[in-house]
Amino acid sequence: MAGYFRAEGIVLRSRDYQETDRLLTILTPGHGKVDAIVKGARKPHSSLRSGTQQLCRSRFLFYAGKNLATVTQCAVESIYAPLRQDLQRLAVACYFMEIADAVVMPGQVNPAMYNLLKQGLAFLATLPPDLVARAFEARALGIMGLEPRLDCCAVCEGPLGSTGRVVVAPAAGGTICKGCQGQEGPEYQVLPGSIKMWQQLNHINWQHLQRLRFGPTLARELGEIMPAFLEYYLGRQLKSLVFIKEIGGNANDGPGKDRPAT
């Protein structure tokens, strides 16, 4: 129904429209994703220009039309300047926005995902990007209702055994024992320390995130398997993740994938 409404939001996507306008996809806590047009936003002196760019959190006044909303006013809350000044942090920020865009379906209101994106972008400005990325992925899976089973076999619920490494399969929904291996699609071998770190990431408070420390091996393993879970359940390849790998944001190309347990 047509009418005005106000909402805080984060601009997930922005694309040119006609000569001077922009089309935006804005994630809000109370209205879900809002597709909106910003008339004249590409004009150099537009009052809406700064607050409607991608990766910007603003307070918007929308007019809801039949098909698209129109942004009539906006007040900038944050442009996340530290993220824009660092290529790796900017790439991870784009990764977060792409995840949020994929998780929140059209017409769905998902304040938990909005709050996660807002927190993730804030902490990304000061903490190690790979650490914040892993925490974001863990929480995104939880919001989707897909927090993996990591304390026993996700298939038969039996013990995992003590082989020195743990096998994880996205299709199984978590860790799998030796007897269930080879039945659930791609599998990844990781150290027990990676599983323990993942369990901590599922529930640790953002304020305490900086207390976690993991070396290159755990960082590589978690940087491979956690995005693999997200891509499997979202049913798509995340383009921003490809870019992160290209610029060396994660060393995710280790030997763990598709290797049978011994």
Res. 250 pLDDT band, cuts 50 70 90: low
Based on the structure, what is the number of domains in the chain? Answer: 2
Of 46, 79, 112, the domain-final residue: 79
Give the pLDDT band of residue 249 (cuts 50, 70, 90): low
**123 shares its domain with 234:** yes
Its pTM stands at 0.90
Return the percentage of the chain with pLDDT > 70, whole number: 94
- Rounded to an integer, what distance in angstroms lies between the CA atom of residue 219 and that of residue 225? 10
Q: Tens digits of per-residue pLDDT, 10-37?
A: 999 999 998 899 999 999 999 999 999 9
Q: What pLDDT was estimated at residue 262?
A: 30
Look at residues 59, 79, 99 and tell me which one is the last residue of a structural domain.
Answer: 79
Per-residue pLDDT at 252 exceeds 60: no
Residue 2 confidence class, pLDDT cut points 50, 70, 90: low
Sequence-distant (≥ 6) Cβ neighbours of residue 53 within 8 angstroms: 11, 14, 79
Write down the residue that tokens 């009052």 correspond to: 47
- Choosing from 48, 79, 110, the residue where a domain stops is 79
- Provide the domain limits for residue 183: 83-246
Same-domain pairing of 70 and 87: no
User: Phi and psi for 101 in degrees, rounded to 5?
Assistant: -65, -40
- Give the model confidence (pLDDT) of 65-97 as tens digits: 888 999 999 999 999 999 999 999 999 999 999
Distance CA 36, CA 30 (A): 15
| Residues 44 and 126 occupy one common structural domain | no
**C-alpha distances out from residue 182 to 81, 159, 161, 222, 259, Å:** 46, 17, 16, 21, 10
Same domain, 180 and 64: no
Domain annotation covers residue 256: no
Q: What is the mean pLDDT of residues 137-166?
A: 92
Same domain, 126 and 173: yes
pLDDT at residue 231 greater than cutoff 90: yes
Domain membership of residue 192 (yes or no) is yes
The mean pLDDT of the chain is: 90
CATH of the domain at 7: 2.40.50.140
* pLDDT > 60? residue 256: no
Inside any domain, residue 224: yes
Q: What CATH number should be reported for the domain holding residue 241?
A: 1.20.1440.120
For residue 42, the model assigns a pLDDT of 87
Are 238 and 250 within 8 A, CB to CB?
A: no
Question: In this predicted model, what pLDDT tens digit does every residue of 40-58 receive, in sequence order?
Answer: 888 888 889 889 999 999 9
Residues 88 and 155 in one domain: yes
